[in-house]
């Protein structure tokens, strides 16, 4: 879910509390409201330490509170009156929820404060560190910056390949051929791209068009129902972009592989290959080779450099050329 902020600002994405409850299998201790209406907008969490002693200068109330052995042991050192004051002050900040780890029995003072300020309380058998890691990992994906772009995303030999190009160039037809050859479809026509880390982009399909492909002359087909569950995938990291364009006899295409074209998607560099399209070229096979070659490059092997070395040329004198392509992504 996304919320449009003021004009010119980024969208603020949120996750309903109900999805977090389901994802982490949380046990409900106290739930005063509809979890679908509680929206979480922060991918970080709070483990209250200084806050239990009344220091709230840098406290972010949009984060979920996590309480484990350390917090519980610290609170046990308080008198019941001090404990009640501390927890009342903490929960008065209206955090979206409190999760108690390791199946620890929530203190009566915590439950009383939760009822006063209507803060949901949950418990889980998971260790505190494992809970924090799982929650942050899940929220970083759900709240990641994202865009939706026209294209087709397929997984070929484990590589995520985003096919882009003008409408009618043959992206969907190429995807069908790849599926027939044992590869998997992630998204057709509209690809939702998320920046899940400083170096990773993950693509998926909008839920309402997932597994559907449009083929001109045939219409809409469901790839999962025709080819089976093994032919589709829910999401895939994007490793390379392949730009399909009509063959231009006047244009010089890269024939050595020493040119490193790239594009930027959400601020992350992604390698780009430009594949000219004309009758007689088997695009599915070319894309399979491109996927395997990209894996080899990531493992440190470059076929063009090996060829030049075998011809007696000094590869160290050659500099690979980098060029940014504006693909409107």
Q: What is the DSSP string of 117-170?
A: HT--EEE-SS-HHHHHHHHHHHHHHHT--EEEEEEEEEEETTEEEEEEESTTSS
Alpha helices in 181-324 (DSSP H): 223-227, 283-298, 303-310
Closest to 210 measured CA to CA, from 229, 237, 196: 229
Select which of 19, 93, 189, 261 is catalytic. 189
Alpha-carbon separation of residue 257 from 144, 274, 289, 291 (angstroms)? 33, 11, 13, 14
Select which of 171, 183, 195, 233 is catalytic. 171
> Is 150 tagged catalytic?
yes
Total residue length of the chain: 329
Select which of 255, 319, 326, 328 is catalytic. 255
What is the C-alpha to C-alpha distance for residues 311 and 303, in angstroms, rounded to an integer?
13
- DSSP secondary structure code for residue 232 in this structure: B
> Is 171 tagged catalytic?
yes
Residues identified as active-site: 150, 171, 189, 255
């Amino acid at each position: 879910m996304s919320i449009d902020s003021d004009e010119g600002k980024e969208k603020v994405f949120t996750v309903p509390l109900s999805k977090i409850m389901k994802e982490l299998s949380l046990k409900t201790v106290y739930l005063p409201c509809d979890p679908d209406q509680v929206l979480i907008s922060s991918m970080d969490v709070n483990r209250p330490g200084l806050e239990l002693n009344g220091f709230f200068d840098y406290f972010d109330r949009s984060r979920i509170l996590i309480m484990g052995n350390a917090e519980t042991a610290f609170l046990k050192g308080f008198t019941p009156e001090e404990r009640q004051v501390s927890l009342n002050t903490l929960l008065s900040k209206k955090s979206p929820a409190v999760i108690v780890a390791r199946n620890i029995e929530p203190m009566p003072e915590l439950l009383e404060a939760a009822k006063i300020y209507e803060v949901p309380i949950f418990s889980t058998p998971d260790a505190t560190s494992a809970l924090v890691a799982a929650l942050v990992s899940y929220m970083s994906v759900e709240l990641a910056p994202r865009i939706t772009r026209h294209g087709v995303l397929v997984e070929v030999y484990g590589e995520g390949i985003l096919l882009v190009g003008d409408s009618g160039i043959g992206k969907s037809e190429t995807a069908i051929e790849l599926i027939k050859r044992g590869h998997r479809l992630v998204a057709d026509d509209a690809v939702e791209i998320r920046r899940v880390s400083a170096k990773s982009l993950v693509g998926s399909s909008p839920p309402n068009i997932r597994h559907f492909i449009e083929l001109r002359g045939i219409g809409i087909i469901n790839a999962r129902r025709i080819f089976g569950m093994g032919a589709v995938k829910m999401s895939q990291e994007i490793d390379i972009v392949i730009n399909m364009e009509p063959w231009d006899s006047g244009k010089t295409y890269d024939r050595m592989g020493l040119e490193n074209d790239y594009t930027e998607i959400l601020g992350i560099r992604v390698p780009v290959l430009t594949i000219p399209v004309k009758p007689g070229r088997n695009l599915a096979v070319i894309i399979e080779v491109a996927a395997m070659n990209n894996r080899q490059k990531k493992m440190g092997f470059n076929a063009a450099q090996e060829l030049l070395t075998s011809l007696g040329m000094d590869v160290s004198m050659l500099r690979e050329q980098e060029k940014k392509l504006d693909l409107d992504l």
